[in-house]
Homo-oligomer: A and B are copies of this chain.
Amino acid sequence: MPDPQTDTQSISRTFIDRFKTVRNRFLRLVEPLEIEDFVVQPTQDVSPPKWHLAHTTWFFEVFVLVPNVPDYQLFHKGYPYLFNSYYVAAGERWTRAERGYLTRPTVKEVLAYRRYVEDHMLQFMGGREMDDELAYVMEIGLQHEQQHQELFLYDIKYILGHNPLFPAYNDSEVCIWGDVKPIEWLSVKKDNYQIGHEGKGFCFDNELGKHEVHLEAFDVANRLITNGEYLEFMQSGGYENHEYWLSEGWEWVGKQAYKAPMYWIKEDSQWMYYTLEGFRPIDMNEPVSHVSFYEADAYARWAGCRLPTEFEWEIACKQHELHIPKDAVFLDSELMHPKPTEGYGFYGNLWEWTSSAYLPYPFYKAPDGALGEYNGKFMVNQKVLKGGSFGTPKEQIRSTYRNFFHPHLQWLFSGIRLARHS
């Protein structure tokens, strides 16, 4: 449970503004879509955009309005069943794998659902002081919606990028990455370090319980691996040589149609990729993206290095990039692509795979109730990522933020930072 907030009245006011900002941002993000784009689920990990719009609304309806607003009328009694994701405690759910079979409710109806719930939320928030528990639930609601906005970006990229017509999502200009310099190494000394969140701001349950971790001396790279560097790995037989791969990674390679990051396609003799701005030649100086953990790990082994643990990453970040740089690229910029920045790039642009399994911290305790399912129950078979991406809102990111995905997934905005023993 996060630190209690004392001045509940003022929170409420700030919160209303943030609530509006976050909710409106989703509408802006879906503006470039055609109605048809909202409906499909080309693979199980992708959810239909209209499902995201509705599910994030369901969260406020079921966890805030239903328990707190007397006589609240559900917008539609069938929606809780349709738009619950995995909260077992919150009741039955429509099968995840079949989200893409539902043509109704329509996008228009989903947008009406959003407005209905927003109206009730604003009315509710305006006339009421929040206690800590409610503040926590509402905060989670906002965090949750922002996480789904990022997932939406992964998903719409997948939907459009797997269509042979390769329609662009947005038409903003694409930045060119200049020449990259050789990697330099940032050192961290052998010592005990403090890990985990402290302070007043929000954090998730999985970051809580400040505790000590002992680290041996190590270095991390001062930048991410580029497309050009990754192509060298490919051209030197990276996908054909089992030595670089974990056993399950090697099996995974065997099943892939393309031996390359997701969205890379070789046309004639040129490597192209699908980006949210459309299908175009690969910028070789840009950080490589859409690699699975297996690929990141294999690349690191090929390069004679390794990936950092989540603890190494966190301490290196705290020591070498004291604050989030002003030019760090987050969702707030509404730029839909990584962009060169000053500094070492720990924050923004791309999530960075770590070698750490996603496990509980020593003092971890899942919150009670349905929200206890938020993080803890996924603590097996997943890998931690750090630092946020151009799809993450700046307010969500911290050095302690622990993102997690299965090691075979490529569709997220993921990148590679190397580490080594000093």
Instruction: Flag if A380 contacts B363 (CB, 8 Å).
Output: no
Q: 1/0 per residue A158-200: CB within 8 Å of B? A: 0110111101000000000000000000000000100000000
Check if A40 sits within 8 Å of B39, measured CB to CB: yes
With an 8 Å Cβ cutoff, the count of chain A residues facing the other chain is 67
In the assembled complex, which residues on chain B have CB atoms less than 8 Å from the CB atom of A192? 192, 214
Query: What is the oligomeric copy number?
Result: 4
A50, A81, A103, A192 — most chain B CB neighbours (10 Å): A103
A357 contacts the other chain (Cβ, under 8 Å)?
A: yes
Which one of B39, B211, B294, B359 contacts A36 once the chains associate, using CB atoms below 8 Å? B39
- With contacts A104-B167, A359-B357, A362-B421 known, is A89 near B36, CB below 8 A? no
A167 contact set on B, CB distance < 8 A = 104
Residue A100 is within 8 A (CB to CB) of chain B in the complex: yes
What residues on B are CB-neighbors of A360 within 8 Å? 306, 355
Task: State the Cβ distance, A170 to closest chain B Cβ, in Å.
Answer: 15
- Min distance, Cβ A171 to any Cβ of chain B, angstroms: 15
Q: Tell which of A89, A248, A373, A380 has the most Cβ of chain B within 10 Å.
A: A380
Please measure, in the bound complex, the distance between the C-alpha atom of A379 and the C-alpha atom of B362, giving whole angstroms. 22
Closest CB in chain B relative to A244 CB, distance in Å: 10
A107 partner, pick from B36, B214, B306, B379, beta carbons under 8 A? B36
CB-defined contacts of A102 to chain B, threshold 8 Å = 40, 163
A98 at the interface (CB under 8 A from B): yes
**Contacts from A to B (Cβ < 8 Å):** 34-42, 50, 78, 81-82, 86, 88-89, 94, 98, 100-107, 159-160, 162-165, 167, 192, 211-214, 216, 218, 242-243, 245-250, 293-294, 306, 355-357, 359-360, 362-363, 372-373, 377-381, 407, 421
13 more contacts with CB within 8 A, not counting A35-B106, A245-B377, are: A34-B104, A40-B40, A40-B101, A42-B101, A86-B247, A100-B100, A101-B163, A104-B165, A211-B216, A216-B362, A246-B377, A246-B380, A306-B360
